[in-house]
Amino acid sequence: MSPRYVAIVGTDCERLRAILHRASGLRIVLNFPTILLACHESADRIDLGDTRGTIIGTLFDRLTNRLLSQLSDAEIRDCLQTRGASLFKRYWGNYVAVLTDEGGTVTLMRDPSGAIPCYVWKSATGRVITSDVRVCTALGLIPSEIDWQAVAAHLLWPDRRACRTCVRGVSELVAGSRLEAGEDGSRIDAAWVPWHFTSGDRQIDDAGDAADAVRSSVLGSVGAWCDRYARPLVSLSGGLDSSLVMACAKRPIAAVTLMTHEALGDERKYAKAVSDWRSVPLIEARKVVDAVDPKRSNAASLPRPVSRLFAQELDRIWAETVSVTGADALYHGGGGDNVFCYLASSTPYLDAVLTAQPSRTRRAVLASLSRMTNVSGWRIRRAAFRKALERGRYRWPRDPRLLTREAIRIAGRLEPHPWFEKMPAWTLPGKQAHVAALLGIQNYLEAVVPPQHVPVIAPLMSQPVVETCLQIPTWLWCRDGMNRVVARDAFRDQLPAIIIDRRTKGSPVAFGAQMVAAKRRTIRELLGDGHLAAKRLIDIDAVDQALGSEGPLRGNTYLRVAALVDVEAWLQTWIGTSLSFPRAHN
């Protein structure tokens, strides 16, 4: 469970102190004229001294991967003198740091992994900074008004991560950022950006060296998390990423794998191969369509609708397994595709061309991508040529399906992410796509519902792993028609060949189609009488056509319908239940 906290920075502290005192489970840990900070009673913290601040969350030493419970006076001085920048260089973990100085300036740092939420609401007298916007709206600290332009933008660019949220006035302090507030005003700057690690002078361009670096960073990060928790449970899909977590985990008490009735969603063979390899008990759990409730949003406490309807069964099974096993943490391989640069596009080939790699390297990358994507080499070269002509910033994919023209108009222009605002002009297209993937996965990781208040950790998204993988050229990640090759090479002796050499991936697609078909009537009512239709953001006739009347669903538009359900269910938790109004037409 991510540590819950609420910070009030500015001149309103005295007036709002009584409100925080009434908040259930929160305890005031910093009480100064310019800042009031309350944390959940069970939150991990490192106290920096009476007048220096605190670090909320988990912190590891960069050199030793040792879990830290305190910092020395010299380390605290270094942290304050660098305005928090030393935290990103000397340590890593999942944390938000709050620092104070004698002049009354407050500095807040969010670690580069972004694992602990950090949202900011600004008023005329100060700021509310919190991990839980819903708690703050319930306390009256933040208004709960919907930002409909942000909702429309979320519908149009569903994989994008923006600073602006769907609650009006609430923005995200992005991972790796520093916020400073004092008498002379406030500012936000990017103390850490991914481009620090993508420059040519930091590139690891030898395949063997790259594999060694990935192995070291993954072993160190997963091992450090295992030192933090005594009874970890591993969610083991049978794919490469969760298998790597399992290979590196110390003393896991069990593994759990999820399956469906369809072959594409049943990966028990692969999960069992890994659990047998590690001699760890494997719990097999089956997803149940009837347990999914389209009206429930797992993002109800978040300021934007980033949950997935399909994930409800994952959360349910995780909660049951944690309860049965008595686990004190749950690890999974989420983000592995993203950090290990799984790009099914022409960009790795284009990067190799733009950096004048030898012709044999370019040919090998082209052949590998063709084999991976089942697309001819000629079409990949053509796509690379078109992208080379653009030579601009990364373009987030749009999905206008089932939206009205009004929704697209309201969404407006795409708001750039601060990371991309800081991107050097020379950044290769593949590295841009790599960083975009790291941003996109944050939506789904944030929406995970902690089972039984047990922390859910994606160790592959740890800062040392991310920084290492950013230094590896995109073309090194694909070879012989396989993706994530550097990670495969790094752990070839740590996992069975059936995992390392596996070319296929499991998929929840069949389960999703079955679920949407089974919930067709509920979904039609939810969307037809909901807020999205009331605002004329979705084309209800097109939704009806996508759902059909009976029988199996055709095509993959049902996935888009499920995404609309996620947004509508979230809206109804923030606004209220269904409405009655004329249907919207495109």
pLDDT per residue as tens digits for the range 310-346: 888 999 999 999 999 999 999 999 999 999 999 999 9
Position 33 confidence tier, pLDDT thresholds 50, 70, 90? confident
Tell me the two tokens of residue 22.
């009434």
Q: Say if residue 264 is in the same domain as residue 152.
A: no
Task: Mark which of 192, 210, 240 sits at the end of a domain.
Answer: 192
Q: What is the pLDDT of residues 397-419, one digit of tens each?
A: 999 999 999 999 999 998 889 99
Residue 558 pLDDT > 90, yes or no?
Answer: no
Structural domain contains residue 160: yes
Mean pLDDT of the chain: 91
Q: What's the CA gap between 366 and 350, in Å, rounded?
A: 9
Q: Which pLDDT score, from 0 to 100, does residue 1 have?
A: 54
Closest by Cα among 412, 506, 496 to 150: 412
- Stated pTM of the model: 0.94
pLDDT tens, position by position, 383-397: 999 988 877 778 899
Per the domain annotation, does 514 fall within a domain? no
Give pLDDT, residue 11. 67
Statement to judge: residues 206 and 299 lie in one domain:
yes
Q: Please state, in angstroms and rounded to a whole number, the distance separating the CA atoms of residues 12 and 509.
A: 50
Three-state SS for 28?
strand
Looking at the domain assignment, is residue 435 inside a domain? Answer: no
Give me the amino acid identity at 240.
Answer: L
Task: Give percent helix, percent strand, percent coil of the chain, each to the nearest 5.
Answer: 45, 15, 40
CATH code assigned at 324: 3.40.50.620
Asked whether the beta carbons of 200 and 183 are under 8 A apart, the reply is: no
Q: Is residue 585 helix, strand or coil?
A: coil
Please tell me whether residues 263 and 330 are part of one structural domain. yes
Please indicate, yes or no, whether residues 18 and 143 belong to a single structural domain of this protein.
yes
Q: Is residue 459 part of a domain?
A: yes
Domain termination site, one of 129, 158, 192: 192
Give the count of domains, the chain.
4
Is residue 44 within 8 A of residue 145, CB to CB? The reply is: no
Q: Kindly give, in sequence order, each residue whose CB lies less than 8 Å from that of residue 491, ignoring residues fewer than 6 positions away.
A: 215, 218, 244, 247, 500
SS3 of residue 106 by DSSP: strand
pLDDT band for 347, please (50, 70, 90 cuts). Answer: very high
Q: Is the pLDDT of residue 484 over 50?
A: yes
pLDDT band at 577 (very low <50, low <70, confident <90, very high): low
Give the contacts of 410 (CB within 8 A, at least 6 positions apart): 148, 149, 152, 537
Q: Is the pLDDT of residue 265 over 80?
A: no
Burial grade of 531 (CB within 10 A; 0-12, 13-18, 19 or more): buried
Same domain, 185 and 77: yes
Q: What pLDDT is recorded for position 506?
A: 76
Burial tier of 200 (Cβ tally within 10 Å: 0-12, 13-18, 19+): exposed
State residue 529's pLDDT score.
93
The verdict on residue 177 lying in a domain is yes
Of the two residues 64 and 447, the one the predictor is more confident about is 64
If you average pLDDT over residues 211-234, what whole number do you get?
96
| pLDDT at residue number 27 | 87
Assess contact for 202 and 472: CB atoms under 8 A. no
390 shares its domain with 351:
yes
Is pLDDT of 581 > 70?
no
Convert the pLDDT of each residue in 497-535 to its tens digit. 999 999 888 777 778 888 888 899 999 999 999 999 999
Same structural domain for residues 364 and 446?
A: no
Four-residue CA torsion sign, 480, 485, 490, 494: negative
Mean pLDDT to the nearest integer, 276-289: 94
Residues 188 and 278 in one domain: no
At residue 341, the pLDDT reads 97
Are 219 and 262 part of one and the same domain?
yes
Q: Is there a domain that residue 272 lies in?
A: yes
Residue 397 lies in a domain: yes
Residues of the chain with pLDDT > 70, as a percent, come to: 96
Q: What is the pLDDT of residue 586?
A: 40
What are the residue ranges of helices labelled H in 25-182?
Answer: 73-81, 85-90, 133-138, 148-156
On whether residue 348 sits in a domain, the answer given is yes
The pLDDT value given to residue 580 = 40
Looking at 294-303, 477-486, 575-584, which range is the least confident one? 575-584
Return contacts of 416-423, CB within 8 angstroms, 24+ apart. Answer: 417/160, 417/161, 417/162, 417/163, 417/174, 418/163, 418/174, 418/177, 418/190, 419/174, 419/176, 419/190, 419/193, 419/194, 419/195, 420/393, 420/394, 422/190, 422/193, 422/195, 423/195, 423/393
Adjacent-strand bridge partners of 7: 37, 129
Q: Name the one residue in this structure whose structure tokens are 């999974």.
A: 332
The whole-number average pLDDT for the span 134-161 is 93
- Residue 120 backbone dihedrals phi, psi, to 5 degrees: -130, 130
144-153, 388-397, 478-487: which range is least confident on average?
388-397
Q: pLDDT grade, residue 25 (50/70/90)? A: confident
- Residue 150 and residue 48 in one domain: yes
How does DSSP classify residue 346? S
For 151-209, how does the pLDDT look when each residue is reduced to its tens digit (9 = 90+)? 999 999 998 998 999 999 999 999 999 999 877 778 999 999 999 999 888 999 999 99
Q: Are residues 389 and 377 part of one domain?
A: yes
- Residue with the bigger pLDDT between 553 and 119: it is 119
Quote the tokens at residue 491. 């752990």
C-alpha to C-alpha distance for 497 and 257, rounded to whole angstroms: 19
**pLDDT tens digits, 249-263:** 999 999 999 988 777
Question: Which string of DSSP letters, residue by residue, matches 381-401?
Answer: HHHHHHHHHH-SS--PPP--T
The answer to whether residues 23 and 114 belong to one domain is yes
Q: Which domain holds residue 227?
A: 202-339+440-472+481-500
Of 137, 160, 192, which closes a domain? 192
Return the pLDDT at 311. Answer: 86
